[in-house]
Structure 1
């Protein structure tokens, strides 16, 4: 009896006259036990588990007891498809009913450290976890609900731990100190990033671009670099049609839509919109700080005459002298100019207008 049942569990056909395989609910006959089992699961929606699945195969209680010694091997697919909770081995994908069984299997069969076994698999992606708590927190990112709000600035976060890390930046205690240099950080995550970027050899950086062989220490930098290859500009300006690869580029662009110059030099009257330009000014003019002063090269050449220029805009202005085109028009009189700076000077001297704003197509907006 046990041999016949083993064959039917493996899907081998048996003759109806040799053994009658009947559904206990509706008395329908089947060629083998596997077909009968699929019928019970599908047609009668019976919730079979490890305790009752074999009752649909065995009529003899003694044979049933013998068979249950090999229960997992014979019926693992049927059991775990019906069980709500199941855990799999990350190496061979074998299914288990309990976490402890997965850990024991990985240690014994795959010689893994028990603390590194990840039996918890996210049902929305392929990420694995060592604990159910970490998996539950991970699933919150799939849901995307930002219910944790910072009491300092109003920013919202998906998890409580993310909010806690963020609030450390407001406290600015910088308790995490680098043992290699004198830098200190508000969070342990920032300290780890610092060590990777500054104190780790670039050949050991984890993220490698297959298109240009560049390496990156952080996934965020790698993802941004990859978008440059693909042209994925997902950060859209709300004022104009321009879009950008990174949020930092968008923030920098937004300053051009505003006349606010947040960086004011305390040693002279200069004001700047961009922090980097402001720091270069301090180093170059006042000898303060150690900002890297860019070396300017006249790499834009006129194809009509030998003139060369530092930037593309000055080359475009120069080309107007050859073509006679004057794209910048005064809105208060009929004069036209080859460059924005000439038009600004004209407004200031002739019309006593100091504040001007140019939109993306070059039209003038007078600021009152």
Structure 2
């Protein structure tokens, strides 16, 4: 087995993204999406008046979107079974906690091979994602996307109180605003 997925939705996105080549790219921050729903949700999040609805799982306390919540709860009840991709044979993992992929450097374990591949770059110092503005390399595409905001000036995260914008969620989180700033 080469890899696995945690839900039927992830398997569907895998098939569309990896086997059919379907991608949606945000014009504002460059982030890629495997399906139209998540792409639309993401682009809505750039709107300063957008408030994402969230639900907390009563079993594991994970915070989820409304669309993900129902599927997630079915994983806890066992209603979703292991599903295999017809094209490449990858198994969908259903909230079992199984982590079959182990880092050969530090023995840390992962549920998905793709996550292990990203993690290994911490040890190998490989930086395959290169900034087209300054040629700086990154271990993950998401880190490159955040970095590019320095060059483009894009600040997609905002304070709902004062509407001050930030280029990372971390900077927004550290921003303490209880009133007009």
The normalised TM-score by structure 1 is 0.27
* Structure label with greater radius of gyration: 1
Decide which structure has greater helix share. 1
The normalised TM-score by structure 2 is 0.50
Higher relative CO (CA 8 A, sep ≥ 6), structure 1 or 2?
2
